[in-house]
Structures are given as structure tokens and as C-alpha cells.
Amino acid sequence: MLKIAICDDEINILNKTKAIVEDYLQSKAQIHTYLSGEELIKDYINFDIVFLDIDMKGINGIETAKRIREKDKLVKIIYVTNYTDYTSSAFSVHAFGYIVKPVCEKDIHHQLDEALSYMNEEISEILEFNTTEGIVRIDIKDIYYFEYKLRKVIMKAKDYSYIIKEKISDIGSKMEKYGFVMPHKSFSINLYNVKSVKGYDIHMMDGSIIPLSQKKSTQFRQSLNIYLSNKIERNRRG
């Protein structure tokens, strides 16, 4: 499920932007709203997309984005502004797009389409992991799942298994934006490599069977359905 933040100190614009995003994405996104850059920075999680006002009281949008970039290099930052002369300053934080106020449905839909298109392309990118054997670079599609077992986190990949030097909860949060979901407290699995779900068993492409906790069953199935429907739509467009 997508995680989207909207940050604007004008409550009417904040609410309008949220309503447009909600209507467009339906139940495919968790939307968090903030009235200041300070609030966003304090409560920041690994968002997929951030709609960020530039001209705010306190910390402005440029400084807010710089602090976000210290934590997250991948989030798509879309500036919402009254002005058109902030472009050069925004280069330093690699802004994804711009919307000039007053916000309208057409502009927000366009930016969402662009961001989602880029995110789909990034699914095949290479990530680095700190393992007991050193730094390992691996294609996301080659990862089946992460498992917490015997006080270790194991990354099961296409050709090998690695022991990762991170907590399973941290990995679960970090990998959400790449299509990974935690169906059980001890697992984070790649939806790309799910073969089928039978009862409370998740069958992976490598033959592994991952347990699906009853508590997380509904949320997991919803996430899988959204992922598959998006995949079908991408293939249709392609």
C-alpha cells in the first residue's frame, strides 16, 4: 500500500489536496497530513510520495526536503507552491515535480501518474545490504523473502541465502516501498515472488511456504490484490 504525505500550512489547500488524492487512489494509499515542516520531519516514515508546500511558516519546504533527503533518498517530492522561481533551489533536493497553486485535480492526477510510473520502473533496481559476508548488491526481483530465525535475519534470494545485519521490523518498513509485506512478525516477503495463497499458507516461487498470521490475513490479501491489479494495469498499458 502506498504511503503519501501532504504538508501545507493552509488548511483548505491541505484538505483539498487530500480529497483529490483519496478520490484518485481510493483504498490504495495511506495518507498522512501535516500543517508544518516540523511536524512532517518529526513523524517522518518512509513515504513513497510527499506533496510539500514551499512557502510555509517556520521551516520552509526547501529546508524540510533537505532534512527528508538525509533520511530517504527515494521518496518522490512534489512541490506545491504559489511561485515559479524556486526551481533552482529545489534542484539540491531532487524534487520530482511541481504544482502551482491553486491546486487542481488535473495537475495532481498528472503528478501521481508520473510518480507511480517511475516507481514501477524502479522495482527492478539494485539494492545494497550489509550482511555477515560484507556488502551485497542484489536485484529486488531476485529476493524472495526475509526471515527472522534463531535471532538472525536471513535474506532468501534466488541463488543464495544471506544473514542480514538488521532487525526484521526495520527491514519490513524499509522494503514496503518495493512491494514487500509482512504477513507474519517473522517474515517480510516480496509480493513479486508470491505464487499463490492457500488458507494461511503463502506459496512462493522458489517452493517455500510462508505462514500467514490470522491477524494480518485481511490486510495482506488486500495488499496482494492491489499489487496484482496494478501489475495487470501496467502490463495492459505496456
- pLDDT-derived band of residue 27, with 50, 70 and 90 as boundaries? confident
- pLDDT-derived band of residue 89, with 50, 70 and 90 as boundaries? low
Please identify, among 122, 142, 166, the residue that sits at the C-terminal boundary of a domain.
122
Q: 130 and 100: one domain?
A: no
pLDDT over 70, % of the chain: 89
Q: 132 and 205: one domain?
A: yes
pLDDT value at 236 more than 50: no
Please identify, among 80, 100, 122, the residue that sits at the C-terminal boundary of a domain.
122
Domain count, the chain: 2
Q: 134 and 79: one domain?
A: no
Q: 208 and 222: one domain?
A: yes
Q: What is the CATH number of the domain that holds 233?
A: 2.40.50.1020
* pLDDT (tens digit per residue) in 29-68: 899 999 999 999 999 988 999 999 998 999 999 899 999 9
Per-residue confidence (pLDDT) for residue 232, from 0 to 100: 47
Per-residue confidence (pLDDT) for residue 96, from 0 to 100: 85
Q: 93 and 140: one domain?
A: no
Per-residue confidence (pLDDT) for residue 90, from 0 to 100: 55
Q: What is the CATH number of the domain that holds 63?
A: 3.40.50.2300
Please identify, among 122, 154, 181, the residue that sits at the C-terminal boundary of a domain.
122
Per-residue confidence (pLDDT) for residue 237, from 0 to 100: 47
Q: 10 and 116: one domain?
A: yes
Per-residue confidence (pLDDT) for residue 12, from 0 to 100: 96
* pLDDT (tens digit per residue) in 133-170: 999 999 998 999 999 999 999 999 988 999 998 999 99
- 3-state per-residue secondary structure call for the chain: CEEEEEECCCHHHHHHHHHHHHHHHCCCEEEEEECCHHHHHHCCCCCCEEEEECCCCCCCHHHHHHHHHHHCCCCEEEEEECCCCCHHHHHHHCCCEEEECCCCHHHHHHHHHHHHHHHHHHCCCEEEEEECCEEEEEEHHHEEEEEEECCEEEEEECCCEEEECCCHHHHHHHHHHHCEEEEECCEEEEHHHEEEEECCEEEECCCCEEECCHHHHHHHHHHHHHHHHHHHHHHHHC
Q: 92 and 33: one domain?
A: yes
For 85, the domain range is 2-122
User: Does residue 148 or residue 229 have the better pLDDT?
Assistant: 148
